[in-house]
Amino acid sequence: MATLEKTRLPESSSSTVRTARISTSKTRIASALAGRPIHLPKTTILDVVLEKRIIDPNTVMPFLTGYQKASELDVIKALRAGPGHKIGTVLGGTQASDLLLAVRQIGGDLTFRINDKSIPIGDETEPDLRLASITMMGCTRFTEDDAWLVCEMAGYDETPEQLSARIQESSWEIVNVIEQVPLPAAAATHDLLRTSGYSNVTVRQAVPRKK
């Protein structure tokens, strides 16, 4: 017992313990729930922007859609213009993910922008630097395949195993899915999760990380 008594903190040091707890909390990442919701349409129209050259227009043509679908000639011209140019539009996260995966299978790459009707096919577009996060209701049916697709869409640095485990462990609680990703990627991922039947999926303003 004498040894145990020596390891106990004296009563007067309780304020020191509270100070240590406050210091530790400053190193944590702020919850995405602190961000205000961003209201998006149920199905977001996304501009498709070439990031890595694609040779065959037939790879992208079946996926492009929109109220004014790009002609094959316009797509060919946009592909020849090179990275940074708009090659068409897609409706929602499902079409966006299908197109993205098809293009990556042949060694190409794409990014997405929130649709801007003033930018015609073939024009160069600036990156969208707005950041956003996604929250949703955790559930046990969120698989590693779902997590892999989210990571691919959002360019997220968490592994599918980590993401799926985190969401499964927080079943019936609102959980952070992804944080601080470009708004167009968040919008596409939001559509994808919502159409997959997940609940309370919300895009939120990104919360700065605490230092």
What pLDDT is attached to residue 67?
A: 62
pLDDT tens digits for range 28-61: 445 667 789 999 888 899 999 999 988 889 999 9
Architecture of the structural domain at 127-205: 2-Layer Sandwich (3.30)
Q: What are the domain boundaries of the chain?
A: 45-114, 127-205
pLDDT of residue 159 exceeding 60 = yes
Give dist(CA 120, CA 78) in Å, integer: 10
Per residue in 165-178, pLDDT tens? 999 999 899 999 99
What mean pLDDT is predicted for residues 122-147? 94
116 versus 9: which is more confidently predicted? 116
Sequence letter at residue 27: T
C-beta atoms surrounding 197 within 10 Å: 9
pLDDT of residue 69: 77
What is the CATH topology of the domain spanning 45-114?
A: Ribosomal Protein L30; Chain: A, (3.30.1390)
Residue 211 has pLDDT above 60, yes or no: no
pLDDT confidence bin for 1, thresholds 50/70/90: very low
The SS3 call for residue 182 is strand
pLDDT band at 2; cut points 50, 70, 90: very low
Distance CA 131, CA 208 (A): 10
pTM, two decimals, is 0.79
- pLDDT on residue 17: 40
Query: In Å, what is the CA distance from 135 to each residue of 8, 39, 53, 148, 157?
Result: 42, 13, 33, 17, 17
Whether the per-residue pLDDT at 183 is higher than 80: the answer is yes
Q: Name the phi and psi angles at 134, rounded to 5.
A: -130, 135
Please identify which residue in the block is written with the tokens 């485990």: 165
Q: Are 121 and 74 in contact (CB under 8 A)?
A: yes
Residue 70 pLDDT grade (very low, low, confident, very high; cuts 50, 70, 90): confident
Using alpha carbons, select from 129, 177, 126, 132 the residue that is nearest to residue 151: 177
Answer whether 204's CB lies under 8 Å from 23's CB.
Answer: no
Residue 209: its pLDDT value, please?
63
Residue 103 confidence (pLDDT): 94
Residue spans of beta strands (DSSP E) within 8-149: 45-52, 86-91, 109-114, 131-137
Distance CA 6, CA 165 (A): 41
